[in-house]
């Protein structure tokens, strides 16, 4: 039997340890760019704690009957009315100690800059788009005070893949966000084809994508994935997926 439980801030250490072991090891961007555990260990647990402290509870763990964590979803609800901003990974990174992680965060930040899109073809979620740089709330016709749910990290232990744990956790985060007053948007930052397909099943639509093969680091102008395609596998794009709740 699999047990699902809402995460509270006192579990941040176990959640962070699980994700360090099971998420970053298989994340396509990290595999391609040579991300090491040493670039995650210093800052990751404090960042997870900050996210859990900031947000209404929307994160979950899946456990086996012995209480061992077998899956984790970390989500966050951004509330524009809070007196302090949403914590970001960039704040916790040191460019000299975590240069690869900083490259990944920069890519994700660019992908999250929502732009107006014109859907040409949705069957393969690879539309042509025109970008205007609109805020996600404006883009989806929501007020500036709307709360936004984001699924940040989702991972399942090796021996439990194929049992629907990831899909269940993904759905639970969204359903919990629906219960929060004023939370009208859910977004998911997809760096793999698997998470993109999961988002499509939950009726998200793509609002932006970045193609890894064409991406250049804005600081250096370097094609950071050139010659590293093997690490990406069949993952070709980072995509921002969104839906109204």
CA atoms in the 13 A half-sphere facing the CB of 153: 28
Q: What is the mean pLDDT of the chain?
A: 89
Find the mean pLDDT for residues 117-141: 53
What average pLDDT does this structure show over 87-91?
A: 95
- What are the residue boundaries of the structural domains of the chain, listed by start? 3-244
pLDDT at 161 over 70: yes
Q: For 217-241, how does the pLDDT look when each residue is reduced to its tens digit (9 = 90+)?
A: 988 899 999 999 999 999 999 999 9
pLDDT the model gives residue 125: 43
pLDDT at 130 over 80: no
> How far is residue 186 from each of residues 16, 56, 166, 178, measured CA to CA in Å?
23, 14, 17, 9
pLDDT exceeds cutoff 50 at 175 = yes
- Domain 3-244 bears CATH identifier 3.40.630.30: yes
Give the tokens for residue 17. Answer: 């340890």
pTM value is 0.89
Task: State the Cα–Cα distance between residues 240 and 245, nearest whole angstrom.
Answer: 16
What is the token pair recorded at 95?
């460019």
């Amino acid at each position: 039997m699999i047990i699902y439980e809402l995460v509270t801030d006192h579990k941040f250490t176990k959640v962070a340890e699980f994700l360090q072991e099971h998420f970053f090891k298989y994340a396509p961007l990290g595999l391609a760019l040579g991300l090491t555990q040493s670039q995650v260990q210093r800052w990751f647990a404090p960042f997870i704690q900050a996210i859990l402290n900031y947000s209404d509870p929307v994160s979950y763990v899946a456990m086996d009957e012995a209480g061992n964590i077998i899956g984790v979803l970390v989500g966050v609800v951004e509330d524009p009315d809070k007196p302090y901003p949403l914590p970001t990974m960039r704040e916790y990174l040191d460019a000299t100690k975590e240069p690869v992680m900083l490259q990944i965060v920069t890519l994700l930040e660019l992908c999250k800059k929502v732009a107006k899109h014109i859907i040409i073809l949705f069957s393969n979620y690879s539309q042509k788009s025109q970008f205007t740089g609109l805020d996600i709330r404006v883009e989806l016709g929501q007020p500036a005070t709307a709360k936004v749910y984001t699924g940040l990290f989702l991972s399942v232990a090796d021996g439990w893949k194929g049992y629907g744990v990831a899909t269940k956790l993904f759905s639970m985060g969204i359903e919990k966000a629906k219960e929060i007053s004023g939370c009208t948007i859910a977004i998911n930052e997809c760096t793999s084809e698997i998470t993109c397909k999961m988002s499509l099943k939950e009726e998200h639509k793509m609002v932006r994508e970045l193609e890894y093969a064409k991406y250049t680091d804005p600081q250096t102008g370097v094609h950071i994935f050139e010659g590293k395609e093997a690490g990406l596998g069949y993952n070709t794009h980072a995509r921002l997926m969104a839906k109204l709740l």
